[in-house]
Amino acid sequence: MGWLAAARPTVVRTPPETAAGTPQEYRARQMVVDTDLARVVLPKNFLRPCLLLLLHESPAHGYELRERLRPLGFNRDDPGRLYRALRSLEEAELVRSAWQSSAGGPDRRTYELTPAGEERLLEAVAELQAMHEVLDRFLLRCADTASPDGPHRAPYGPG
């Protein structure tokens, strides 16, 4: 997984001076995702690179992927969307699947990443990194505008 680690954002976020609690508590709060808000703000087709990432980490069946998507901002209430995305990734030859028998229940379709899927994941990381950098610049400018030490005008509006 070394190639993916090299593609991670280099932006280091530190707790604001006003954040209460320990650094560990601050990080824990940052990990909580408001899935209703995330559904609105996530990039279009963000589900696809998330699935590629999860399958890069380990092959999985659909239910497991639904569970592992939750911390990435996805609710578990739309399994059809998940399976349509998996089918689309499989048609694009980014993912392959096979039925595996289960002693304790019904057979399950297990998905794994293909070499083309690994390449597409790298491309997605680069695209998302570029988007992250643009959004960071935007948010920094918003923070500077609203800052007491920043320009003296009404924040976020004409002034």
Per-residue pLDDT at 121 exceeds 70: yes
CATH code: domain of residue 139: 1.10.10.10
Per-residue pLDDT at 17 exceeds 50: no
Phi-psi region of 34 (alpha: psi -120 to 50; beta: other; left: phi over 0): beta
Cα–Cα distance measured from residue 77 to residue 66, given in angstroms and rounded to the nearest whole number: 9
Q: Does residue 19 belong to any structural domain of this protein?
A: no
Per-residue pLDDT at 12 exceeds 50: no
Q: Does residue 20 belong to any structural domain of this protein?
A: no
Q: How many residues does the chain have?
A: 159
Q: For 48-94, how does the pLDDT look when each residue is reduced to its tens digit (9 = 90+)?
A: 999 999 999 999 999 999 999 988 888 767 888 999 999 999 999 99
Return the pLDDT at 59: 97
Location of structure tokens 């209703």 = 36
pLDDT top residue among 3 and 127: 127
Q: Does residue 105 belong to any structural domain of this protein?
A: yes
- Does the pTM of the predicted model rise above 0.75? no
- Packing angle of the helix pair 47-57, 62-69 (nearest 10 deg): 110
Nearest to 53 by CA among 5, 14, 88, 100: 5
Q: Does residue 2 belong to any structural domain of this protein?
A: no
Return the pLDDT at 9: 44
Using DSSP, state whether 60 is helix, strand or coil: strand
Average pLDDT, the chain: 78
Return the pLDDT at 14: 42
Parent domain of 141: 27-146
Number of domains the chain is built from: 1
Cα–Cα distance measured from residue 153 to residue 145, given in angstroms and rounded to the nearest whole number: 8
- 3-state per-residue secondary structure call for 92-139: CCCEEEEEECCCCCCCEEEEEECHHHHHHHHHHHHHHHHHHHHHHHHH
Q: Does residue 132 belong to any structural domain of this protein?
A: yes
